[in-house]
């Protein structure tokens, strides 16, 4: 009898542990953690897509502005060329000042700075004016540049000098000596 009762007791203890047909307990913490990780991955993917979209838009905007600069830096076919380079350079310098005044007409502080620095700007442009094509191309660019290109003046000048004349290495708009 003792053996029988011990056997029954052993079966009673082992039976619940061996019942594999019951559903395992759900691990709420693991499910919550998995859901948080999935949400985190979605946020990371959304931020990455937004960052890549902004970068692509900035790149396209820069390319569009560069194309516009290239379009502006041309010598019009119907332009009347001055007989002397100095006259063309002076006309270009005047066009540069008018360009800056147009660009900053809505900003009194910057406009005052343009007017204050106009003689220096004019002198620097005349020093950089190295050929008739550069002078005429720059004048055309200054006359036809749309609003919002005031901050791109150095890029505009560098583009014109590279495209129409000789620009220093690096393409910066640095004063060069006039020929002659």
At residue 175, the pLDDT reads 47
> By the 8 A CB rule, do 132 and 153 touch?
no
Mean pLDDT by runs of 10 across the 180 residues of the chain is 55 55 65 88 91 90 84 85 88 91 88 88 86 90 87 87 67 46
Q: Degrees (nearest 5) of the Cα angle 52, 149, 91?
A: 155
- Using alpha carbons, select from 97, 104, 108, 113 the residue that is nearest to residue 147: 104
In the block, which residue shows the tokens 């147009």? 102
Residue 81: φ, ψ to 5°:
-80, 130
Q: Rounded to two decimals, what is the model's pTM?
A: 0.60
User: What does the domain layout of the chain look like in residue ranges?
Assistant: 73-171
């Amino acid at each position: 009898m003792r053996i029988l009762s011990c056997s029954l007791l052993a079966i009673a203890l082992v039976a619940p542990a061996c019942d594999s047909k019951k559903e395992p307990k759900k691990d709420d913490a693991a499910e919550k953690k998995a859901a948080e990780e999935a949400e985190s991955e979605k946020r990371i993917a959304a931020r990455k897509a937004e960052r890549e979209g902004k970068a692509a838009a900035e790149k396209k905007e820069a390319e569009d502005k560069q194309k516009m600069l290239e379009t502006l830096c041309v010598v019009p076919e119907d332009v009347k060329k001055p007989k002397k380079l100095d006259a063309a350079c002076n006309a270009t310098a005047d066009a540069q000042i008018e360009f800056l005044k147009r660009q900053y007409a809505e900003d009194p502080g910057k406009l005052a700075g343009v007017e204050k620095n106009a003689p220096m700007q004019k002198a620097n442009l005349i020093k950089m004016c190295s050929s008739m094509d550069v002078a005429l191309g720059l004048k055309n660019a200054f006359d036809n540049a749309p609003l919002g290109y005031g901050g791109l003046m150095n890029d505009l000048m560098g583009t014109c000098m590279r495209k129409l004349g000789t620009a220093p290495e690096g393409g910066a708009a640095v004063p060069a000596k006039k020929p002659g």
